Structures are given as structure tokens and as C-alpha cells.
Structure 1
């Protein structure tokens, strides 16, 4: 009887332990969600030429590590430097023309101002000759009246008549001169306005030449193709002496300093995942080395929506498939960062509690 009790107690103990273990593992399983549909990602930038030129030197080989600012390709600068010199000469010429236009406009303004003063002086002359003409007319009228009563001589009458004729001639001369001066003044004023407008046109040309020089200098600076960041340069498709056109691919550079994991989780698990949750990461390349990170952000749509031919569920042949939703996981700092590369397969385990 005692042996049966002990045996029953052992069986009960085993059952309790098994139930407790099952509950523990069930609780632990509910605290995490995982997926092996994940990979390491990073920036891969295609390096292209900004100008058309011959290649003088290539300073890298495939799969070579480079630092930010390292010169990768040196293009021939002869034609590019000539463009800069030509742009500088055109800018200098435009600047000289602007200075000449300023002086010419100033001279035209001064001539127009002097002509206006001449018009004012001619008006004063007209006023004086008008007064002289009126006086001469009065003198002739008085002399004529005196001559009729024989109070003056014929000679004085002729003199008064001559004076009137001279006064009329002076008046007409002054009027004609004022009209001529006024016409000249108007022409000079119009010319001065045109010269000032020419200044604006020349200023616009100077700005155009400045832009052309800046563009030529920018093209010259692109003769030295440099690495935009630290990483590995690969996919070399050029060689020395080759002629390349603007926009042509030279190589690609991979940023291995800033990596992240893209995990495609099931849509049914999406409601459990929040930004900031810790993540355990295992890479197939380093199964013995654990990595850690945290959920950084969610993609705006499921992966199917980014495919070349997104599925259309309105065609009539609808089969419901659990969709995958990409999330971005940021890696915590790691000593093995230099050995990580984009594209490595990963297994992620997200703590959802």
C-alpha cells in the first residue's frame, strides 16, 4: 500500500511538472512573435558620372573598402577647364560692357540735362525778343503818328521800321532755336532712357555669365568622383581611357556602417507589434552570434502592393492569402558591424509584451 502511494505521488509530481512546464512555455511563446522572412538591408548607391569626358585614372578595384571623400575616378579635365576659362572670359566681357553702359547712360543723362537747360535759356531769349518786338512795334506806331503831323522825319520813321523788322527776325530766330533745342532735348532724353534700359539688359547678361561660370566650375568639380560615405565599392564597369557620357554608371558603393533588418511579419500579428519593442536577431551567416535591435517603423503598405504586378482581387479568382507587412528593425551597436552586409538572411524574435 505504501509503495502504491509513493508511485501515485511520483506520477502526480510528473504531471504537475509537465503542466507547469507547458504553462511556462505557453506563456513564453505568447510573449514573442517571430519570423524567418527577414533580411539585412543597407544603402546601395549607384555612382554615375555628371559630365561627359575621358577617364584618366580609376583609383579602386572591385570589393575594395573606401572612406568617405576618397577619390574613386579621375576624369580628364582639359575640356572642362577650357569651359571654365571661356566662361570667365565671357563674364569679364559682360562686366566690361556693363561698366561701359553705365558710363554711356551717365553721359546721355548729362547731355539731356544740359539740353533742358538750353531749352530754358532759349525760353528766356524768346521772352526778351518778345519784349523787344513789342517795344519796336510801339516805337514804329508812335513814329508813324508823328510823321503824319510832320513832328518827325522820314529818316526816323525808316529807322523805327528797320528796328521792328530786326526785332521780328530776332524773335523768329529765338523761337526756331527753342524748337530745335527742345527736339534735341527730347531725343537725348529718349536716348538716355534707352541707355538705362541697356544697363538692365547688360546686368541680366552678367548674371547669365555668372551662372554659366558656376555651372562650368561645378562640372569641373565633378571630374573628381568621390565616395559619398564609408563602405565597399563594387560593380566596376569602367576602365582607364574609356569615354563616358553624363549619367553613365561607373560603379556601386555599399554602406556597411548603417544597416537595418527588414522583417516581413504576418498581417495577423501586426496589431501586437509596436515601435520601440526589443528584438532578438539571428543571422544565418553568424548563427552563434546574437544581435539585438528594436522596432523602428512600419512600411506604409504590404509587400504585395510594392510588387511589379500587384494582385487584383476583383478578377474573380480570389484566394485569400495571409499578407506580409514589412517592418524596419534598427540594429543596436555591435562589434561585428564591419562583417555585416546587406542581403544576409535573418531570423527575428520580437518581444510583444
Structure 2
């Protein structure tokens, strides 16, 4: 029976070949990959749990708009986007030939007024000399007249005494009638000379009074009195100050026709071409200061509680993924960005859909090459939570 069973054509059951080493390696690699994936996902979830990561962020700066205060045709403009600017550097010039001619005319008027003022001052000096000389002459003539009056009064006194002695002598017969009459006529003549001298003194006093007013007898002043000239000079001085003010006004107008850079920075964008006619206040270009840039992140309102001013922030710039940047939180906004939208959302139907709002957060850039950053570049910020959930 045993032989029959062995010759029936059936083969006994045998065990399959053992798995090869390469199959074990693949299995091990698959297990390692699964474990690594789980670890990476776990680490990613933990990182997300302990950090605020926001990709709704960009490089921001204060853009300064440079414009002309005056209208006019653009005569000189050659700046391009990205050109550096220094504070006070000429940005553009407007056509200014009529204004330059007006300035030259006003300066000529100032020069004419200055010459007139100097001439009037010399006239005042000359008039003062004339007046001083005329007054001195009148005083001298008054002194002469007063001296003549004194002589006449002495002569009169002597004549009166002689007459008083002559009358008794004539009555006693010691003096002739002819001599008596001569003494009488001498007395009358002395009295007349005294009256004439008094009138002359009064006349000279009047001439002195007139001389002090610039009125001279026989030789009038060739110039008005110093008082009148000084009054005229004061008017000229006021007109000169007005002319100088007109010059300063025109110089300011001409200076405004040369547009200069208000600060050092970089041209962000230009808006005009050479030869265009500009309106007052029309933008010429926009510029920014490379040293005055920061990151503005719009963080979900649910994550704001995890942030605090001064927290360190890691920054990854999309344009420079191989460069490291970092900074700190400077300001956490107090209002959602939707409150400042140009077109506010309206809800006339009454239907309401709750949407997570965004809060602006300002982040300084403290480490990294700031020259690589340009306004508008997108970044991703990562901030370690300040509170544990």
C-alpha cells in the first residue's frame, strides 16, 4: 500500500522559498517613511500649535509722493524707477523763463530804490548843512543888531545927559541958542537911532526864526528842510522794503519751479514724461527710504491673543528663500483691516456670514540685508506664541 501511494503521481506538500533581503529592506524603508511622515506631521502640528505662522504679509514702507506746487511745462526730468535720490537733489524743473525775467525786473526795481534812498540821505546831509549855515548866519546878524542897539542906547543916554545940562546953561546965558539947538537935535537923532536899532534887532530875530524853519531872507534854501526830506526818506524806505519783499516772493516762486527730493531714498515709480504740462499738485514720482521699511502682517483675529509687542519674529521672503531675516513685533493694530476698506461691505438683505477678520501687525526688520527688500514683496512670518493654550 505504501508503494501504491508513492506511485500515484501526487507530490508531497513542500514549504515556499523564504523572502529575500531586498523585500525586507523595502518593508523596512516603508515603515521608516511612515514613521518619518507621522513624526513630520506631528512636528508640523506641534509647530502650528506653538507658533503663529502667517503668509498674508508683505514688505511695507512710507511712500512719499513728490509733486509740483505750481503748474507748468516739465522742462527737465530724467529719473527712472529704482534711481537713488539724495535729500535736496533736483527731481524736475519747470519752464521758468518768464519768471526769471520778472525776478530780474524786480531786482532792478530794488536797485533803483536803493539808489534813490542813498540820494535822499545825501540830500538830508546837504540840507542839514545849509540849514546849519543859514541859522548860524542869522544868529550872527542878530548879534550885530543887538550890539548896534546897545551902542545906540549908550549914545542916547549921553545925548539925554547933554541936553539936561544944556537947558539950564542956556537959561543962565552961558550957552548959546545955536549950541542948545544942536544938543536938542543930537538927542532926537539918538532916539531915532535907538528905535531903528530896536527894529533891526526885531527883524534879525524874525530872520533867525525863519532860518530855523529853512526860510532865509534873500537866499532861499535850494533843498527842502531836513524834516521834510527825512519824511520823504521814510516813505522811500517803506517802498524799498516792499520791493525787497516782492523779490523774495518771486525768488520763492522760482525756487518752487525746481522740484527737489524731500529726503534720501529710492524712486519707486514715476508718473510723468519730459515735456508734459503739469497741474499744481500733480504727482511726479513716488519714493521711499530703504532704511524705513517694515513687515505688515495681517493676522487672524483668533491668533492675536498669542502675540505681544517685542516678540521675536522669523521672516521668510518669497523672493529670497535662501536668506535669513528676523525682527520683532512693534505694533499690534487695534482695528480690523476691513474697517479701512475703500468700499465697505454692506448687508442690505440681512443675511450674515461670519468671516474671520484680520488684524494688522507691524514687524521691524532687525537682521538680514535690508537692501534686498522692496515694498510689496510677499513674506511669511513665524511667531512663537506668547501664551499656551
Using the size of structure 1 for normalisation, the TM-score is: 0.69
Number of the residue aligned with 2:266 = 231
How far apart are the structure 2 equivalents of 1:133 and 1:25? Answer: 134
Task: Provide Cα deviations, 1:7-37, integer angstroms capped at 9, x if missing partner.
Answer: xxxxxxxxxxx9xx99x959983xx666666
Q: 1:261 aligns with which of 295, 304, 308?
A: 295
Q: 1:171 aligns with which of 198, 217, 221?
A: 198
* Contact 1:74 1:225 (C-alpha < 8 Å) held by counterparts: yes
Number of the residue aligned with 1:74 = 93
How far apart are the structure 2 equivalents of 1:332 and 1:233? Answer: 23
* Contact 2:139 2:208 (C-alpha < 8 Å) held by counterparts: no
How far apart are the structure 2 equivalents of 1:197 and 1:72? Answer: 49
* Contact 1:267 1:325 (C-alpha < 8 Å) held by counterparts: no
1:93 Cα deviation from its structure 2 partner:
0.9
Q: Secondary structure at the match of 1:153?
A: helix
1:166 Cα deviation from its structure 2 partner:
2.5
Matched, 1:89 2:108: yes
Q: Secondary structure at the match of 2:247?
A: helix
How far apart are the structure 2 equivalents of 1:322 and 1:156? Answer: 139
How far apart are the structure 1 equivalents of 2:61 and 2:324? Answer: 19
Task: Provide Cα deviations, 1:255-283, integer angstroms capped at 9, x if missing partner.
Answer: 44531234567699589634x55332334
Q: 2:371 aligns with which of 329, 337, 345?
A: 337
How far apart are the structure 2 equivalents of 1:209 and 1:99? Answer: 16
* Contact 1:231 1:257 (C-alpha < 8 Å) held by counterparts: no
1:96 Cα deviation from its structure 2 partner:
0.7
How far apart are the structure 2 equivalents of 1:35 and 1:58? Answer: 42
Number of the residue aligned with 1:278 = 312
How far apart are the structure 1 equivalents of 2:107 and 2:307? Answer: 64
How far apart are the structure 1 equivalents of 2:356 and 2:137? Answer: 96
How far apart are the structure 1 equivalents of 2:251 and 2:384? Answer: 54
CA distance 1:191–1:26, change in 2 (3 Å): same
Segments of 5+ residues of structure 2 without an aligned counterpart are: 1-38, 216-223, 345-354
How far apart are the structure 1 equivalents of 2:155 and 2:340? Answer: 107
How many residue pairs match? The answer is: 320
How far apart are the structure 1 equivalents of 2:198 and 2:71? Answer: 76
How far apart are the structure 2 equivalents of 1:186 and 1:169? Answer: 26
1:177 Cα deviation from its structure 2 partner:
2.4
Q: Secondary structure at the match of 2:292?
A: strand
1:237 Cα deviation from its structure 2 partner:
3.7
How far apart are the structure 2 equivalents of 1:109 and 1:141? Answer: 47
Q: CA RMSD in A?
A: 4.5
CA distance 1:192–1:303, change in 2 (3 Å): farther
Using the size of structure 2 for normalisation, the TM-score is: 0.63
